[in-house]
Every structure is written in structure tokens, then in C-alpha cells.
Structure 1
Amino acid sequence: MNFNYFIPTKLLFGKGQLGNLHKEKLPGKKALIVISSGKSTRANGYLDKVEKELKLAGIAYAVYDKILPNPIKAHVMEGAEFAKENGCDFVIGLGGGSSIDSAKAIAVMAKNEGDYWDYVSGGSGKGQPVPVDPLPVVAITTTAGTGTEVDPWTVTTKEDTEEKIGFGYEKTFPVLAVVDPDLMLTVPADLTAYQGFDALFHSTEGYINKTAYVMSDMYALKAIELIGHNLSKAVENGKDEEAREKVALGNTLAGMVESTSGCTSEHSLEHALSAYHPSLPHGAGLIMISKAYYTFFAGQDCCKERFIAMAKAMGKENATDPMDFVDALVELQKVCHVDELKMSDYGIKKEEIEKYVMKAYDTMGGLFEVDPVPLTKEDCIKILEDSYK
């Protein structure tokens, strides 16, 4: 029961909380608002609402709006330069995981010299310590998918080498997070499902992770319960406010799992797929490989009780076997209409599976070290082959 615990983010959670942003002591005088290159943040009025809050608070701002669904290093560097040119002294990530992740990376490079990849570990990253503390980050999430609003992590792709790698340390925690389910009512059904499963897997991976402990377990099981019982409702009816709120809470708790425990190799394998095929939504890739991935661990002696506990959290109250969790997972994918996703639809070729596995080990090999039992490269190849459609 000896542990260290550190989640320094102040959290405003609940319906209408964005309207309280102007009442908060914000960490600077001019914000860089980081949003995606898509239309939804503006079209749904979310950018307008944030701008209104900043005006009420007497805060100036500039908007950087080029972030892709799978963020790239070029935009991190460009966004950081934009922040410096505009004299921004803090960063607001507004949107889904890609915008908030990018906000954190931009905050690092707005205060530090060199290239972002100088500070990234894995692959061709140099793994250097960050000399100067990043700009403060405020996270305002419009999706329930990554939990990045309450964790320090950010994921970026280096385009020329097709490396998709996570980065983060205690200084990249947002200082303030706003989780307002009202901002999630417009997320389409397919993206609601993809994002919800990403949050679910942050929790399941964190629960079977070798670094799991009492605090991460508490967050993980509650997140699994909330998402397992409510995601299909949010997929079927995006205007279901209660379901949206519960999935949002599950997602934020999943971010706390990421802050206390962490991901396993499931994320390494998916990052390799979407590094080569950036049109593949991260959550969709995780869904594709999840049945085979968890079936592998369910067949080991490492964490049977944990799989049974996850099955019970998903709603199988009489679960007695690790495969009960896999069954519950597949059932949820069916009712969320994502059980027939195909790798081939995104250009993934079965004959290239070994390439993806090697990339996973090269870029994010550290996650394999926290798997409950070691996964060999042959095991990974079989998992991807069994997942291929």
C-alpha cells in the first residue's frame, strides 16, 4: 500500500461548466487556442463559447487551427512558432485528444529550442530532458475518448519516418481541465464509439498493467463500468445527456488511469498501424485488434482474477472465467456497430503485418515491458493476423 500519487490538474466537470471558465484564475494574459483543421469546433459554436469566456476574463487570444486527427510534428513546430510570434503565454487545447495532445506538445516547444523529436524517447527520438518548463496548458475536451485532459501524455507522428510516439512528463499535465458533456452532444455515432473504446482500453490496459496499484485500480474499474454500461446508449442517441455525462466521466477517470498506471502493448501495436495509415482512427484500430489481444492474455495465468473483475464491471455479474470479459467486449462492439471494422478498408495489408510489429517494438517498445506477461513478436504477429479482415 506504499505509493506516490500526483494528478495536479484542476477539474471542472459537468453540464454547463464551460460557462464558468471566465471565473477561473487563468494561467496567463494571452492564450493560444489550438483546434483541429476540421469544421466542427467552429460550426458547433464551441470556439465562439471559449472566445466569449476569455473576453469576459479579459484574456487576449490567437487561434491555431491546423491539427489533424493523427497529429504531426510539423504542426507542433509551426504551432509553437505561432505562439511565440503572437506573444501567447499559455495554451488552450480545445477539441478531442488530437487538439489537446498537440496543445501540450506546442507548449513544450514554445519555450524550448531545437526539434520536438529531441525530447521524445523511442524510435529516432533523442530522449533529451526538457530544459525549460512548457507554457501552462488548459484542456477543454469536446469528446470522450482519451482522458488527455487529466494526464500528461501526448501522441505525435513524425511524418518522414512514420513514427507515432507518446511523450509526456509531470510538467505537461494541464493546469485546468473543463469536461462539459454539453460539448459532446454533436459527436457522430461512429466517432462516439471509436472514442469510447479508446477510453475503455486506457482503463483495461491500465488495470492489467504491471504498474497497476490501488489508485489506478479504483479509477479503472469505475471507468470500465461507466463506459461498459453507457457507451451503446450514447452511440444510439447522441442527445442522451445522461449517457453522454457518464461516458464523459468514464473517459476522464480513464485519463486518471493513464496518470497512475498506463497503457500496455495494445497501444504500441495500434500506433504502428495508424502511423503508416493516418486515415485510421485510433479507436477504430484498437477495436480491430482488441478481441485477439485480450484473448491472448485471458489464456495466460497472469491475471485471471483481473479479467473476471473487468467482466463484472462490464455487466457480467456472474463472470467466472477470463473469457467472460472478452465476450462482454465483443458484445459491446456489436451493440455499438463496430464489430465488423476491417483493416483492409484503411490500406493495411496482411503481408505487411511483420513490418507493423517491428515498428511497434521500435517506437513504443517500453509498453511491452509492462504487459502482464511478455508478448513475443510471434505472438504479436498472430494477434494482428487473427484480427485481420
Structure 2
Amino acid sequence: MDIFNFYMPTRLFFGQGAVKKLARAKLPAGKGLIITGGTSTTRLGYVDKVAGALREGGHETIVYNKVQPNPTIEGVRECAALCRAEGCTFVAGLGGGSSIDTAKAVAIMATNEGDWWDYIHGGTGKGQRIKNDGLPLIAIPTTAGTGTEADPWTVVTNGEEKIGGGGDKCFPTISVVDPGFMMTVPPHLTAYQGFDALFHACEGYIATCASPVSEMFSLKAVELIAGALPEAVHNGGNADARADVALGSTLAGFVETLSSCTGEHAIEHALSAYHPALPHGAGLIMISEAYWKRFFASSGERLTALSRAMGKKDAAAPEDFIACLQSLRKACDVQTLRMSGYGIEPSDFGKIADNAQSTMGNLFRLDPRPLSREDIMEILAESYQ
């Protein structure tokens, strides 16, 4: 058995009402910055619940509420400037992956010199090492998809570059996964986010850096998500289904920590970098069948195991995995997604392939077999509608 590494320093609280645990959390004295986006977290009372729990623990808070669905470097800089000016001693990311990823970058910028893009490897990033620990970070997801509450990674967009970054200093100090915060996510977004989490687990299972521990989390995450996502989509008030998908997403975050995403995510990041209106999960769904077909020969046994985890207990061939994906897409009403509906054109495929390789090319090195520029363009062409 190969040597593998397990490092997961985040204290995780999971379950209905878990946000109350923040009242007794060990945090530095001083003011906290709650980082969120839009209006829903305020309108639904989540900001007040988080602020109330922290206030009970003796902490004053202020709120930054301008995070965009695809967080930008400009937003990160603005939020970091507020954090420094207010002398905040910890940060809390409340919302989808965008809010938590912004909070991770802000926590680092508050204690390190320069700009977040100085610490990005790929594209125009300067590839510097993060020297100092960031501010203590609380991650509180209101969606079940990114798993960023259980990994040390961020995704930030700078112009036409949408690049993941981070490292051990970007782990949340505390993560609170309260399924009660996820009950009102609309059906289509529930589906997109759930598929994102599913592919985190599946990609981590076939990645060349997978380990026995990551494989365990992968299969359980796939089982939970595939089993509960259709019900969560069609009956969002089903607390058990919401909790299963939330737990599956968090376990898939462990997979991202212990293994890695692969080329599927690199391709989609390039797609949504050029077309920001494209939800990340929707882009993954669009390219998934063409991408996964490339690994029948190299990863047949693993694809068969994933099929069984998705509920096809008699799976005997890698092609069964594609059938499972198709079935889950139909069950979640996302089988008719079209690239053309988001302004993507076949003439874009070359620059998308180049962007994927230049910004997140390291992920392709973890695919079970190499994917060339031509392979990427063929995946896009086969997925196009």
C-alpha cells in the first residue's frame, strides 16, 4: 500500500440547530466579520442566528454582504480591506461556497502581505507561498455542494481566470453544517449543487492520488447524494433528504482534502470563467457523460464500484456508471441542460481548452489517463447542444 497523508484540522458541528454551538466556540476576543452575499441569508434570518450565537459567546460582529455567486478578486480585496480597517479577529463565511471561499481568502489576506492573487498557482497568479496562518475562520454553508467547509481550497475569479487555490492554512477552524439552513434552496439549484458534490466524490475516487481513506469517504458520499438528491429536489422540505445530501457534500469535501478533483472540474471552471451566468454544477452536468466515457479502459473497476454506490447493485461494467448518471439527471430534472442556453458556442472550444490547461492544468495530471487539448475539445463538442 502506498504512503498517504491524512490532515483535517477543522472542528465540525453537524445537524439541525448546530449553529447554536457557536455560542461556546473557542474564538479570539474581539470583533468578527460575517461574510455573506445577496439578501437571502439576511431575509431568512441566518445572519441574525449566527450573530446571535456569537453575541451569546461574547463577540461583536459586523457584516459584509456583497459576495457574488462567482466570487471575484475585486470583492475579496474590498472585503479584506474592511476586515483590516475594523480590526476583526476572526471571520465567518455564511452562505454558498462563494461566501466561504471569500472568507478563506480574506482570512489569509488579513495576516499576510500583498494580494490573494500572489498566492495563486496557475494562470497569472504569482505562485507565492502563504507564510502566516490566517485569521480563525468559521464556515457555515447554506447550500450542499462545494464541501468547502471540509477542505482547504478556494475558487476565485480574476477576469477570465477562475482558479482554485489555498493550502493547509486555509482550513476552516470551525465548520457548522446545519441542514436547517438549506431547506429553502430552489429545486434547480439543489440539483446543480448536489451534482457538484457528487462529482467531487467521484473524481476523487478515480484520481491517481486517491487513498484508502479518501475512497471510503467517496463511496459513502456518492451513496448519500445519489440516494437522497431526487427527493431533496422535488420535496425540499424533507429534512432527512436535506440532511443526507448535506452530509454527502461534507464527506465529498473530505475527499477534496484527502484526494483531489480531476480534469472535469478544470474544464468546467474554464466554461464558467468565460460564461459567469453558467452555474458550476450545471456545467459539470453538461460535460459529465463525455468526460467519464474517457476512462472506461483505465478505470473500469472503479466506475463499476461508483455505479453500485449510486444504487445499481448489479453493476458489472463501467458503462453502468453512465446509465446511473443519466438516471439521476432525469430524476432531478436536469437532463435537458444546453450549453447554447448560456451563450457557449463551438467556436469557443479552443480557448476554453487552453484556459483549462493554463489555469488548472494540474488537475489533468491526476486523471487516470492523460487528456490532451484535442480530448478536451472533443469532450466539449460531444456535450454541446
Normalising by the smaller structure, the TM-score range is over 0.9
Distance in 2 between the 1:127 and 1:361 partners? 16
Partner of 1:347: 343
Partner of 1:239: 237
Partner of 1:151: 151
- The correspondence of residues 94-173 of structure 1 with structure 2, limited to 5 A, is 94-159=94-159, 162-173=160-171
Q: Give unmatched runs, 5+ long, in structure 1.
A: none
- Partner amino acid, structure 1, of 2:371: L
Partner of 1:58: 58
Determine what percentage of the aligned residue pairs are the same residue: 55
Distance in 1 between the 2:276 and 2:316 partners? 39
Partner of 1:367: 363
SS state of the match for residue 337, structure 2? coil
- The correspondence of residues 208-287 of structure 1 with structure 2, limited to 5 A, is 208-287=206-285
Check the 8 A contact 2:34/2:94 in 1, yes or no: yes
- Partner amino acid, structure 2, of 1:387: S
Partner of 2:12: 11
Aligned residues: 384
Q: CA offset at residue 62 of structure 1?
A: 1.2
- Partner amino acid, structure 2, of 1:55: R
Distance in 2 between the 1:115 and 1:86 partners? 18
Q: Return the TM-score normalized by structure 1.
A: 0.97
Q: Per-residue CA shift, 1:23-66, capped at 9, x if unaligned?
A: 22224421111001x21101111001111111111101111111
Bigger Cα displacement from structure 2, 259-268 vs 13-22: 13-22
Q: Per-residue CA shift, 1:206-261, capped at 9, x if unaligned?
A: 00000001000000000000001100000000000000010011000000000000
Distance in 2 between the 1:182 and 1:116 partners? 32
SS state of the match for residue 65, structure 2? strand
SS state of the match for residue 93, structure 2? strand
Q: Per-residue CA shift, 1:360-383, capped at 9, x if unaligned?
A: 001000000000000111111110
SS state of the match for residue 236, structure 2? coil
Q: Return the TM-score normalized by structure 2.
A: 0.98
Distance in 1 between the 2:194 and 2:5 partners? 28
- The correspondence of residues 36-75 of structure 1 with structure 2, limited to 5 A, is 36=37, 38-75=38-75
Partner of 1:323: 319
Q: Give unmatched runs, 5+ long, in structure 2.
A: none
SS state of the match for residue 202, structure 1? helix
Q: Per-residue CA shift, 1:57-104, capped at 9, x if unaligned?
A: 110111111111111000111111100111101110001100001100
Q: Per-residue CA shift, 1:252-294, capped at 9, x if unaligned?
A: 0000000000100100000001111111111111111001111
List structure 1 segments (4+ residues) > 6 angstroms apart after TM superposition: none
The question of 1:308 aligning with 2:304 is answered yes
Partner of 1:291: 289
Q: CA offset at residue 205 of structure 1?
A: 0.3
SS state of the match for residue 66, structure 1? coil
Check the 8 A contact 2:27/2:136 in 1, yes or no: no
Q: CA RMSD in A?
A: 0.9
- Partner amino acid, structure 2, of 1:226: L
- Partner amino acid, structure 2, of 1:348: I
Partner of 1:24: 25
Distance in 2 between the 1:128 and 1:115 partners? 10
Q: CA offset at residue 22 of structure 1?
A: 0.4
Distance in 2 between the 1:295 and 1:177 partners? 36
Partner of 2:373: 377
Q: Per-residue CA shift, 1:187-222, capped at 9, x if unaligned?
A: 000110000000000000000000001000000000
Q: CA offset at residue 303 of structure 1?
A: 1.1
Q: CA offset at residue 346 of structure 1?
A: 1.1
Distance in 2 between the 1:26 and 1:148 partners? 20
Distance in 1 between the 2:176 and 2:26 partners? 13
